[in-house]
Amino acid sequence: MVDIISIANQKGGVGKTTTTINLAASIANRGYHVLIIDIDPQGNATSGLGIEKSTIDKDIYNVLVDEIPLTETIHHTGTKNLDIAPATINLSGAETELISMMARETRLKSALDQVANDYDFAFIDCPPSLGQLSINAFTASDSILIPVQSEYYAMEGLSQLLNTIRLVQKHFNKDLAVEGVLLTMLDARTNLGAEVVKEVQSYFSEKVYKTIIPRLTKLAEAPSYGQAITEYDSKSRGAKLYDDLAKEVLKAHGKRLKK
């Protein structure tokens, strides 16, 4: 059975897509079958894994709105064991179109049910908003991994995110859990970063991953080559740290650290 994890924070640019791609690729590298669902209309996970947008004829929009089978959208990526259900700008229409549709909150869940036995993990790269797309993601997920950028105002908006999680638990998915909180883009040269780390750790305590992702040039470069960090530079610090995160996640799910 697949374990489904949304990567979410409605704040923009905090490392959701970078974490989705590189955590998913690190877990795939350890021999697990992994699917990424790109539910962000910007489609950065899609292009960041080398899928040329002009070649996509069906995407998550068609799954949510036209109810086509999810399998018809899935592409293999350059990383072994890693597939993606892509997004294009089409998906931006879904946010409003879904509002008048039947079973609007559970459409992604129904689609993922179709591939439940094909993958060990699915990661959903959420958009920077808490609308219909994120609610579909949260309703379909077992848990939510929250990347938090290590800078001032890091905690801003998190109460709104936690409130949305509570609403989804109440109405659609009572077992939805917080998977963990990941500190990202830490600038080790400033005291500010260390202060934010302390603040986030004191609020979320054991939910915060031991692995912290610093600001690393190679992590920012890899998507322009359409590659996860594991492919772009497997020996880099970013690849090592996302593998450390993968080990924490696998352990939390009671999975063996194969490799």
Ligand X SMILES: Nc1ncnc2c1ncn2[C@@H]1O[C@H](COP(=O)(O)OP(=O)(O)OP(=O)(O)O)[C@@H](O)[C@H]1O
- Beta bridge partners, 208, equal 181
By beta-carbon proximity to ligand X, the closer residue of 40 and 142 is 40
Give me the least distance between CB of 40 and ligand X, in Å please: 5
Q: Which of the residues 81 through 100 are near ligand X (CB under 6 A)?
A: none
By beta-carbon proximity to ligand X, the closer residue of 18 and 73 is 18
Check residue 13 for interaction with ligand X (CB under 6 A). yes
Which of 12, 99, 170, 240 binds ligand X (CB under 6 A)? It is 12
Burial class (CB in 10 A: 0-12, 13-18, 19+), 188: exposed
Check residue 41 for interaction with ligand X (CB under 6 A). no
C-alpha to C-alpha distance for 14 and 212, rounded to whole angstroms: 13
Check residue 16 for interaction with ligand X (CB under 6 A). yes
Alpha-carbon dihedral angle through residues 253, 59, 80, 146, given to the nearest 10 degrees? -30
Judged by CB under 6 A, the number of residues near ligand X is 19
Q: Which of the residues 121 through 150 are near ligand X (CB under 6 A)?
A: 128
Check residue 216 for interaction with ligand X (CB under 6 A). yes
Q: b or e along 149-185 (b: 16 or more beta carbons within 10 Å of the residue's beta carbon)?
A: bbbeebeeebeebeebbeebeeebbeebeebbbbbbb
Check residue 40 for interaction with ligand X (CB under 6 A). yes
Check residue 69 for interaction with ligand X (CB under 6 A). no
Q: Is 103 left (phi over 0), alpha (psi -120 to 50) or beta?
A: left
The total number of residues written for the chain in this structure: 259
Instruction: Choose the binding region for ligand X from 8-16, 27-35, 153-161, 190-198 (rule: CB under 6 A).
Output: 8-16
CB 3 within 8 A of CB 121: yes
Q: Which residues bind to ligand X, rule: CB under 6 A?
A: 12-18, 40, 42, 44, 128, 184-185, 213, 215-216, 219-220, 223
